[in-house]
Amino acid sequence: MGKKTLRDAEVKGKKVFVRVDFNVPIDKEGNVTDDTRIRAVLPTIEYLLVRGAAVILASHLGRPKGRPDERFTLRPVARRLGELLGREVRFAGDVVGPGAETAVGYLKPGDVLLLENVRFYPEEERNDPEFAAKLASLADLFVNDAFGAAHRAHASTTGIAAHLPAVAGFLMEKELETLGRLLADPKRPFVAVIGGAKISDKIGVLERLLERADLLLIGGGMANTFLAAQGYDLQASLVETDKLDVARTLLAKAGSGERVMLPVDLVAAPDRERPDERVTVPVDCIPAGWAALDIGAETLKLFEDKLRPARTVFWNGPVGLFEVPGFDAGTLGLAKAIAALDGTTIIGGGDTIAALKRAGVADRVSHVSTGGGASLKLLEGKELPGVAVLQDR
C-alpha cells in the first residue's frame, strides 16, 4: 500500500482524531445488536492507547438528514465500545462547538472520547471547509479507519485531511491490501459471485470482474434482468427493463463458453409475503404473475460445483430475498459452500455479512470487508476519496 499508516506516525502525547465506521444496528432498547464494525477498529484504538495518545472517535450512524435525531445517537455505541475495551469511553453530545471542545480539553493520554453522530450536521455531507477545519482543531493527527465510508467525500473523511497529517488505520490498511491483491494477483481459478437487487448499482464492478475473474456467478434480483435480456419471461419479478441492453452487452463481453453463469431454476411465489406458497421451477416456467425470489436447488448445486476448484472467491450480494424465511435457502446454502472452501474467500460487506452470520459461518472465511459500497468502488478501479487524501509514503 502506498499510503502512510499509523506505524509511520508519532502519536505519543498527541490527540488523535480517528474516523471510524460505527454505523451499526441498534435495537429499540438501545443495544448494539451487531458489533462487528466496532470490533474491527479495536486494534487501531488499542495501538494508540498503548502508545500514549488520547483518542477522539467520530462516526456516522444511519441517515439523520443533517439534524439531531435521537434514533441515531451514538451513545449506545459508546457503551458497547467501553465494554469491549474494558475502560471508560467518554461521550460528547456534539461534534463541534464548546461542548466538544471542552470534552476534548479534558482528555489525557490513554483516554477515549466518542463524538456524537457527525451526520447531525448538514455540513458533514457537504464537506464544508469550515466544518472540516473545526473538526481538525480538536486534534493533532487524523487517522482514517472508516473503510466503509471511504468512498464518501465528507468533512470527516476527506475535508479534515486538509488541516492535519492524515494516515490510514489498521483496518483501512487491511482492506486496501486484501482487495488490492484480489485484482492485482489472485490465485486462480478466481470466481466472483455477485448478487443483490440491481445491475445498475454494479455495472462498473461487473465489467471489471469480467476482465479479471475466470468465472462470474450471478444471482439475486440482478439475475432476473440478465435472464430477461436472454428472452425469458420473468413475470412479476424484479427486472430493470431499462438495463436490458446493458445486460446483453455484459454477456457479449463475456464471450462464448461458461464465463458467466446464471440461474437455471428459481424459487417463485405470488409475492414476498407468501413464502409458504413457493415453488421451484425452471427459469422458463415461472407461473403467470408470480415473482422469482431465490435461486433454486439446481442452481445452488451448479454454483457449488463451480466454486469447488476455486482458489480465490469474491462474493457480494445475496442471491435471493434471504431476509424472508422461505426465500433464504439459496443465500444461506451459498454462504456455507463458500465457507467450506480451502482457498481465499473474500466477502464484500453489506447484506452478505448478515447472510454469513445467519448461516453461522462468518468466522470461516478469509476476509469480511466492512464496506460494501467502498469495496465495490475499489474493485471497479475507482479512487476512494477517503484514501486519496492520506499521505503518501
As annotated, the active-site residues are 37, 198, 350, 373
Give which of 392, 393, 376, 368 is closest to 150, Cα–Cα: 376
Strands in 169-321 per DSSP E: 190-194, 215-218, 260-261, 265-269, 279-282, 291-295, 312-316
* Residues in Cβ contact with 123 at an 8 Å cutoff, skipping those fewer than 6 apart: 130, 131, 155
Q: Confirm if 12 and 52 have CB atoms less than 8 A apart.
A: yes
Instruction: Please tell me the distance from the alpha carbon of residue 3 to that of residue 14, in angstroms, as a whole number.
Output: 21
Tell me how far CA of residue 52 lies from CA of 20, 105, 107, 140, 329, in angstroms.
19, 16, 11, 13, 49
**Other C-beta atoms lying within 10 Å of the C-beta of residue 161:** 22
**Is-contact 81 42, C-beta < 8 A?**
no
> In this structure, are residues 305 and 297 in contact, taking their beta carbons and an 8 Å threshold?
no
Contact between residue 248 and residue 262 where contact means Cβ atoms under 8 Å apart:
no
Q: Tell me the C-alpha to C-alpha distance, in Å, between residue 171 and each of 144, 162, 231, 344.
A: 9, 22, 44, 18
